[in-house]
Amino acid sequence: MATGKDEGQGPGLKVAVMASAGAAVEWYDFFIYGTAAALVFPKLFFPADLPPFVAQIASFSTFAVGFIARPLGGALFGHYGDRHGRKRALVLAMFLMGISTTLIGLLPSYAYIGVAAPLLLVAMRFAQGLAVGGQWGGAALLAIESAPVVRRGFYSSFVQVGVPLGVVLANVVFLAVSTLTPEPAFLSWGWRIGFLLSIALIGIGVVLHLKVVEPESQEGPEEPASVHSPLLRAILGHWRTILLAGGAFVANNVCFYIAITYAIAYGTGTVGIPRETLLAAVMTGSAVMIPALMICGALSDRYGRMGVFLLGALLSGLWAFAVFPLLETGSAPAIFAAIAVQLVFVSMMYGPQAALFAELFPRSVRYSGASLGYQIGAVFGGGFAPIIATALFARYQSSLPIAVYLAAVCAISFVCVLALRRRAPTT
C-alpha cells in the first residue's frame, strides 16, 4: 500500500498499470462507436434517401447521446463509489459497457427494422455513456489514492493513457477489418466484429480490476459517507468547483474529438483522403500521445498542475488554425503532423487533469465531485464538437470557423483553470 514515500511506489505503480489497462478496455468500446459513427452508421441506421450531410449529423447526434449520459453515470457511480468503494463501482461500470457495446454489434440495420434501428442505437449509446461516466473517476482515484503523494500526477497519467490506448485499439480493429473485407461485406457484417470483441476485452478488464486492492485513505479521518449522500454533499458544497472543473475540461475534450472523429469524416467526405490514411494518422497521433501524457503528468508533479495545463490550452488554441490547412493539403506527412501535434498539446491538459481534479475535493466526495466535473465538461466538449464542426462547415463552406471554435473553447478552459485555485485535499 502506498504511504506517500518512495517505498510505496511498487504497489502503487501496479495499481496504476492495472487501472490503465482497464481504462483502455472501456475507452476502446466508447471510441469504436465514434469511428463507426463517422464511417458506417450514416449508411446503415438511417433512411437511404437522407442527404449525406443530414445522415452524418444524425449519426453524430447518436454519438453525442453518450456524452449527455456521462454526467448521470458520473453521479450514479460516483455516489456508489464514495459509499462502497472505487473498485466495486468500476467493475459495475465495465459490465455495463461490455453488455451495451456487444448489443450494438448485434443490432439490425434500418433496412430491416426501420425507425427502431436508430432508437435502439441511441439506447445502447446512452448505456455506454452511463458506463464511461462512472469509469474514469473510479480508475483515476484507484491510481491516485494508491500513489505516493508527490507523484500523483505521474501515477494518474497511467489512467489517462487508457484513452489513446483505446483509440489505437479501436482504429486497429476498424482498419484491419476494412482492409481485409470488401466494402459490401464491411458494411454488412465486418464493422460488427469490433463491437462483438467487447465480450472478451471486458472479461480481461474485470479480471484485472478484481485483483486491485482498494487503497486506504492517506489523508486522515473524514466524516462517514453514510451521514449524508456523497453526491448531494459534492453538489451543495462544491458546485462552483465542479462547474469550473467542467469548464477546464472543455478544451481538451473538444480538440481531442475533433482530431479523432470529425477529422476522419471531414477528411474522407470533403477532402477525399483515403479512410486508411486517416485511421493510420489517428493511430499514430494516439501512440505519440501515450508517452506525452506520462511526461506531462510527471511535469505537473514538479512544476504544478495548473502551469502545464494552461500552456497546453494556449498551444492547442494556436494550433487549431494549422490543423485543417494541413489536412486540406492531402499530404500524408501533413495529415499525420496535424493530428499528432494536436494530440500532444491535448496531452499537456489531459496528463495532469486526473490529479488536478482529485485534489480539488475531499476524499469522501472525491469520486462524485471529480466525476461530475469531468463529465459535465465532456457533454459541452466532445459530445457536441463533431456536430458543431459539421454544421459550421456546412454553413460557411470553410474550415476557418471550426478553428475559431476550437480557439474559443481553449480560451474558456484557460480562464476556468485560472479561476481554480489548487488546494490540498481537505477533510
Lowest mean pLDDT among 41-45, 216-220, 261-265: 216-220
Rg, Å, the chain Cα set? 20
Lowest mean pLDDT among 7-16, 82-91, 159-168, 383-392: 7-16
* Contacts of 48 by beta carbon, 8 Å cutoff, 6+ apart: 110, 111
Q: What is the pLDDT of residue 7?
A: 43
Query: pLDDT tens digit string along 323-340?
Result: 999 999 989 999 999 999
Using the predicted structure, report yes or no on whether residue 15 has a pLDDT greater than 70: yes
Secondary element (H or E) of residue 212: none
| Spans of all domains in the chain | 6-206+228-419
Higher pLDDT, 26 or 114: 114
pLDDT digits (tens, 9 = 90+) for 121-147: 999 999 988 888 888 877 888 788 777
Model confidence band, residue 186 (pLDDT cutoffs 50, 70, 90):
confident
Pull the grid cell for residue 21: 489497462
Give DSSP secondary structure letters for 72-122: HHHHHHHHHHHHH-HHHHHHHHHHHHHHHHHHHTT---HHHHTTHHHHHHH
Give the SS3 label for residue 349: helix
pLDDT at 12 over 70: no
Phi and psi at residue 329, to the nearest 5° = -70, -25
What is the spatial distance between Cα 109 and Cα 93, in angstroms, rounded to a whole number?
27
Confidence of residue 308 (pLDDT cuts 50, 70, 90): very high
**How far is it, in rounded angstroms, from Cα 36 to Cα 260?**
12
What are the tens digits of pLDDT across the range 81-100?
778 777 788 888 888 888 99
How sure is the predictor about 10, in pLDDT bands with cuts at 50, 70 and 90? low
The average pLDDT across 242-254 equals: 92
Look at residue 424 in the predicted model and tell me its pLDDT. Answer: 43
Sequence-ordered alpha helix ranges (H) in 222-331: 230-257, 263-266, 275-303, 305-328
User: Quick check: 126 and 103 in contact, CB under 8 A?
Assistant: no
Buried b (16+ CB within 10 A) or exposed e, 300-318: bbeeebbebbbbbbbbbbe
With a cut of 60, say whether residue 5 has pLDDT above it: no
Domain at 6-206+228-419: CATH architecture: Up-down Bundle (1.20)
* DSSP summary character for residue 147: S
Whole-number Cα distances in Å, 24 to 15, 209, 237, 395: 14, 12, 32, 36
Across residues 149-154, what is the average pLDDT? Answer: 87
pTM of the model: 0.81
**Average of pLDDT values for 193-208?**
78
